[in-house]
Structure 1
């Protein structure tokens, strides 16, 4: 994880001007002077997230190790909470150690602010997570937004009130005027309309979301018309407690906006609630269009909903819907049509996207599709959750998970990949092809997390199932996985036999990407087995297979890493260093922190052999800073762990304990970019 993984200027951009809230911002700052956990509570639409974002910007100077905002509205399973936080912080779960343990280890010595946004559906999980982090990491502060507190000892709970409405105006009126100018350029508050706007904001109880929805209507109605139409809706309100009234006020304001939509727009609003996170127009058309609402109508209605601020258009062209509006749409959907067919169409849409991403693996288009899968993370999770909770959809879930495998692999998201594959394997127990495919994929992820002994039985079962079906490619993939697990277990004989048999199968019928992976892994096995020249030949063959993808980065970086390891065992430290400098640039580009960690480690050894002991200590410190190696043998091999201790001891002896510690700690303090620059002898590196 980078030292400042989320500097305050990289927080989500504020789409509209921030208005008022001086007291609330001061209260957040004062609360953090008393405690390390602050929770902003209040009903939907009251402005908790905006206050949290603005507070984060104002408090950034108090947190030298960064600010990280984690959006949780799309996370429905608490088991994925820690993984979601880790991903937001740039971590990669490269091993089987629980992600919460990695986070604690990474945050233990840091001074940072962690924002958990929209926690009300995960209160118990967020409470357990916050308690663990706060107890173990004294420099971490946590800011929570939720409709209810976490109920933890020492938690400072700040109820976010509606905006103030006074006779002369107040912050609520300021907000209305600001949003009115966005909707209707040239709008100004005047003596003629101020009283009406004050009354309008009072009717809306000063709730920011309600005010913003009303302000948009100035495109078609005057302030007087707005007030009259809103008054016509207020027969719904009763004399209950203020919190209930405010909830009803917001519901009324949203319902009023709903009534102002055309019937097709209302239907689209309801259907769009199936998306978790964002979506683009093509996805909306694919999921929401049918005989009642064709694609042209979807596009037209989407523009209409954007014009009414029901959906918001992000800077990247995608559309977003606030949680409160999504909830309203979901409730309406339950009344107008069956939900399950729509969720199935949503799943099918994500399956097609994942299939195109899988087809782009190890091609020049790989990076673009990896970024697309990153953007669809919440939608992917929603689709998988649908598959593994609705009877009869489990095999479709395993097929979707298989399509996502290469994305999890390239991004080193092994724990999440295993989570979904294993959920599917628990549900699909028969001898189906989807089970055989998921078994070797889950086994391979386990080998990457230091669990080769547990991976072996899964790959063996995959081999048996594929053999029964006459699936040669499945057999080759299972054998390749068995060879990889055997390599990490130090069983060179079995590894060699499995790789040779896999090669015999895949050379005849295997897809290009399977052969590339096999050549790369076989090269790794041969380098570790003392056959470095043969390892280099395997790498050259893998690169030949990549000739049609000159811009591909991920596989090329790992192949270069295997070549560097082969040069190391050939005692060619200069050749090893040359390959590694190329490797580090590639791994940085694809955000592969596992590859970067391994590269820093191996280059640290090279520097120790070259008697550049201080530089070697810096790189060993950088490698130790990332959690990728905690609990896993160095570079996946106990023998290489022994080599690490020998070379670190040599540097420590040459420098002396104090100087070694000084350089080692310097490496731990460098950011990813600074470490890559240092490793590549960039004169701009610190």
Structure 2
């Protein structure tokens, strides 16, 4: 690959690990390397199950060290809504942009100076949207190259396509040959047979004799060398010998060849894969087939509780689901996901009351899921299964909302992040069927996911659709207005925040209503962001003096007795954060510290971390203003720990900026300069630096001036550049280190 100015050593680690052995494809890998050297857009095409995704991942892994900024894989199979394509790229690239700019523009801007290989996997269901996006990205980023997998090309100028063909199969035995010739297809069959769950369960090692080897070669030929078909066939070896497998496959294909109908007119490779999956379907017991069909409504994976909620019913009892699921996994129709695989999130949380790795998760390959979806439709159960899916995730969202302000925040973040694609699917189900109240309720329940966990853009996407769809007054609409206001606040869209606050105030019953404090918080936060601390303070004083504030707050964070009142219990705590922040900016530093300490104690009582991190942040501001930089740094570091733990990108970068300020004030110029670089790197992925806040920008400028004065411009630029070039994880780790050696000056 002829690319200019290549560094000798490049970082890696952005690509997922391969969980099974990779066999063959030497010629294809060499061809991809040549094509990427000649063209900025290469598309791997081919039938489902032929191995496009595995080949693209292996090609990216081989090529990532050639690109200064490595390679990134974007898996698009779970995405069904084309309008969220840009948002998914932001998420997968860890660009937690919280502005109102089009997502595609944000991605293009970030890629503009990058030398990077971007892999877009499984684009066939979003071809037009992917083509528009790729054109935008290639126009904006001259050193970007894109590798696409799709069942058809994108159709863009300059695109080079490579059809991924099945693996080579061994030729039929000729007279005098006792064993088949080596081929990649036969090697794959032998590898998967030796490691198949079914074979392991039967304690039968795959050690075929001459006849077995000949039968294995015949199986590979019969399956046209299609990797997925070979893997599904190999999974049957726990119950069948390889000779029996070959014999039954032969009968299956011979029966098909005399049938009439649409399948016979399909391309042979399509027909082969469908036949193999169909044969696997026939080998399943009836209840396994039914569960397979029902599980096809999940997108991006599921756990046992979800499988029971959707799969149980009629002839399948809840107690039978796990057995049937294990049986489908044994047949390789369902795949258990390890916690290192994409979509299988690590749910570890120190002190959490859950399994340290969370419940096991399962998934289906797209082609297998599509077959199940076809049968679900044939059974007439598609609508029922989708409603069960929606109801399961609706209950999950409501439970998460009810427990967020407590000790299980990290567990809930992990769970919802793992099921992100299913959350989208459930919301889309409500919106496409005009179920506005349900969409409002679900979108509102996820307020913390949108606001606290970096998905503000997506939250507004769903909440605005739901609010436009349903104008029916009630607690669901009020909660959705609140959530949408928070999402707009996270994006720095002050005008939208004021508009939504006004609508929320009207929705809950006016200024004197018990839940009007939620609207007051949105207004106070917007005023603070705009720099109008005087008006924010006046509004806060009015809220503080409103009757019932303490009484309704009650214990355990509960606000009021009604459904709507309980929905805004977090608003009182957020108001205290804002109150402390306003105290700082009005010079009332002792009052700010007292308010922050009160909030820290309350958060400690609740066992939650997210709000406490904000309290630690404002406590750090107060300590810094009182002339205690070491104390301020300790509070800022605790704030950073909490924000990073919950992937709160906005809170993370604000804490790092504050750490830079305390370092500069302590005459640790090198440390401050590097932290400012790290902060700038993170702001580039979030949106406008310092959210456009005059106070935050002024504090950042002051940190830079102090640092330059301490160490000089040359040293400052060197350390700043080091921080700017650091990855997000390395940057946060550096910021969390209490006193990096050599950076006192």
Does TM, scored on the shorter chain, surpass 0.5?
yes
Q: Does 1:543 align with 2:600?
A: yes
CA distance in 2 between partners of 1:147 and 1:621 (Å)? 43
CA distance in 2 between partners of 1:623 and 1:650 (Å)? 16
Corresponding residue of 1:215: 234
Q: Does 1:98 align with 2:102?
A: yes
Q: Is the alpha carbon distance of 1:251 and 1:630 closer, same or farther for their aligned partners in structure 2, counting shifts above 3 Å?
A: closer
Q: Secondary structure at the match of 1:472?
A: coil
Q: Does 1:580 align with 2:621?
A: no
CA distance in 1 between partners of 2:479 and 2:396 (Å)? 19
CA distance in 1 between partners of 2:742 and 2:443 (Å)? 41
Corresponding residue of 1:3: none
Q: Secondary structure at the match of 2:74?
A: strand
1:451-490 matched pairs, under 5 angstroms: 451-467=493-509, 472-473=514-515, 475-490=516-531
- The structure 2 residue matched to 1:594, chosen from 650, 669, 674, is 650
- The structure 2 residue matched to 1:348, chosen from 391, 412, 424, is 391
Contact 1:149 1:157 in 2 (8 A): yes
Corresponding residue of 1:557: 613
CA distance in 2 between partners of 1:649 and 1:101 (Å)? 32
Contact 2:97 2:687 in 1 (8 A): no
Corresponding residue of 2:211: 192
Q: Is the alpha carbon distance of 1:91 and 1:639 closer, same or farther for their aligned partners in structure 2, counting shifts above 3 Å?
A: same
Q: Secondary structure at the match of 1:232?
A: helix
Q: Does 1:620 align with 2:620?
A: no
CA distance in 2 between partners of 1:196 and 1:685 (Å)? 67
- The structure 1 residue matched to 2:288, chosen from 265, 274, 293, is 265
Give 1:659 deviation, angstroms. Answer: 4.2
CA distance in 1 between partners of 2:664 and 2:231 (Å)? 62
Q: Deviations over 1:188-238 (max 9, x none)?
A: 343212222222211111111111111111222223322332223324358
CA distance in 2 between partners of 1:404 and 1:508 (Å)? 26
Q: Does 1:372 align with 2:407?
A: no
Give 1:308 deviation, angstroms. Answer: 1.1
CA distance in 2 between partners of 1:445 and 1:237 (Å)? 57
Give 1:347 deviation, angstroms. Answer: 0.9
Contact 2:443 2:459 in 1 (8 A): yes
CA distance in 2 between partners of 1:45 and 1:446 (Å)? 42
- The structure 2 residue matched to 1:145, chosen from 137, 142, 149, is 149
Contact 2:600 2:612 in 1 (8 A): yes
Corresponding residue of 1:665: 721
Corresponding residue of 1:15: 19
Q: Is the alpha carbon distance of 1:469 and 1:627 closer, same or farther for their aligned partners in structure 2, counting shifts above 3 Å?
A: closer
1:4-153 matched pairs, under 5 angstroms: 8-9=12-13, 11-153=15-157
- The structure 2 residue matched to 1:280, chosen from 300, 303, 317, is 303
- The structure 1 residue matched to 2:382, chosen from 309, 315, 339, is 339
Contact 2:672 2:703 in 1 (8 A): no
Give 1:489 deviation, angstroms. Answer: 2.3
CA distance in 1 between partners of 2:11 and 2:376 (Å)? 40
Q: Does 1:172 align with 2:185?
A: yes
- TM-score, normalising length from structure 2? 0.85
Corresponding residue of 2:350: none
Contact 1:675 1:685 in 2 (8 A): no
Q: Is the alpha carbon distance of 1:271 and 1:478 closer, same or farther for their aligned partners in structure 2, counting shifts above 3 Å?
A: same
Q: Deviations over 1:567-622 (max 9, x none)?
A: 33444444433322333333333333222221222333334444443433222222
CA distance in 2 between partners of 1:13 and 1:89 (Å)? 17
Corresponding residue of 1:398: 440
CA distance in 1 between partners of 2:502 and 2:703 (Å)? 37
- TM-score, normalising length from structure 1? 0.92
CA distance in 2 between partners of 1:628 and 1:486 (Å)? 24
Give 1:373 deviation, angstroms. Answer: 0.5
Q: Is the alpha carbon distance of 1:16 and 1:370 closer, same or farther for their aligned partners in structure 2, counting shifts above 3 Å?
A: same
> Which sections of structure 1, spanning at least 5 residues, go unmatched?
1-5
Q: Which moved more, 1:323-332 or 1:486-495?
A: 486-495
Q: Secondary structure at the match of 1:461?
A: helix
CA distance in 1 between partners of 2:264 and 2:55 (Å)? 25
CA distance in 1 between partners of 2:729 and 2:738 (Å)? 12
CA distance in 1 between partners of 2:513 and 2:476 (Å)? 12
Contact 1:169 1:198 in 2 (8 A): no
Corresponding residue of 1:422: 464
CA distance in 2 between partners of 1:592 and 1:558 (Å)? 11
Q: Does 1:516 align with 2:535?
A: no
Q: Which moved more, 1:45-54 or 1:26-35?
A: 26-35
Give 1:327 deviation, angstroms. Answer: 0.5
Q: Secondary structure at the match of 1:546?
A: helix
| Bigger relative contact order, structure 1 or 2 (CA pairs below 8 A, ≥6 apart) | 1
Give 1:673 deviation, angstroms. Answer: 4.3
CA distance in 2 between partners of 1:350 and 1:624 (Å)? 37
Q: Which moved more, 1:583-592 or 1:74-83?
A: 583-592
Q: Does 1:389 align with 2:432?
A: yes
Give 1:558 deviation, angstroms. Answer: 1.5
- The structure 2 residue matched to 1:244, chosen from 242, 249, 267, is 267
Q: Secondary structure at the match of 1:144?
A: strand
CA distance in 1 between partners of 2:383 and 2:686 (Å)? 43
Q: Is the alpha carbon distance of 1:139 and 1:506 closer, same or farther for their aligned partners in structure 2, counting shifts above 3 Å?
A: farther
Contact 1:577 1:603 in 2 (8 A): yes
Contact 1:94 1:628 in 2 (8 A): no
